[in-house]
Amino acid sequence: MMIKKIGIIANIEKEKSAEYTLLLRDWTLKQGVEGFLEEDIARKLGEETGLERRKMASQVDLLVVFGGDGTLLRTVRFVSEYDIPIVGINLGEFGYLTEVNLNEMFSALELIFKGDFQTEKRMMLDITIQLGDETVKQQSILNDVVITRGNLSRILDLETTVNDRYLTTFRADGIIIATPTGSTAYSLSAGGPIVFPEQDSFIINPICPHTLTNRPIIIPDNVQIKVILWTKGHGATLTLDGQISYTMRSGDSMIIKKSRYVTNLVSSPHRDYMQILRTKLGWGGSPTSANKC
CB 202, CB 226: distance < 8 Å? no
Separation of alpha carbons 282 and 277, rounded Å: 8
Output the furthest CA–CA distance in the chain (Å, rounded): 64
Which residues on neighbouring strands pair with residue 63, listed in sequence order?
7, 86
- Residues taking part in catalysis: 69
Separation of alpha carbons 116 and 124, rounded Å: 25
CB 147, CB 175: distance < 8 Å? yes
Q: Which of 64, 68, 79, 12 is nearest to 43 (CA)?
A: 12
**DSSP sequence for 105-133:** HHHHHHHHHTT---EEEEEEEEEEEEETT
Please, how many CA atoms are within 13 Å of residue 196, restricted to the half-sphere of its CB? 7
3-state secondary structure of 273: helix
CB 24, CB 8: distance < 8 Å? yes
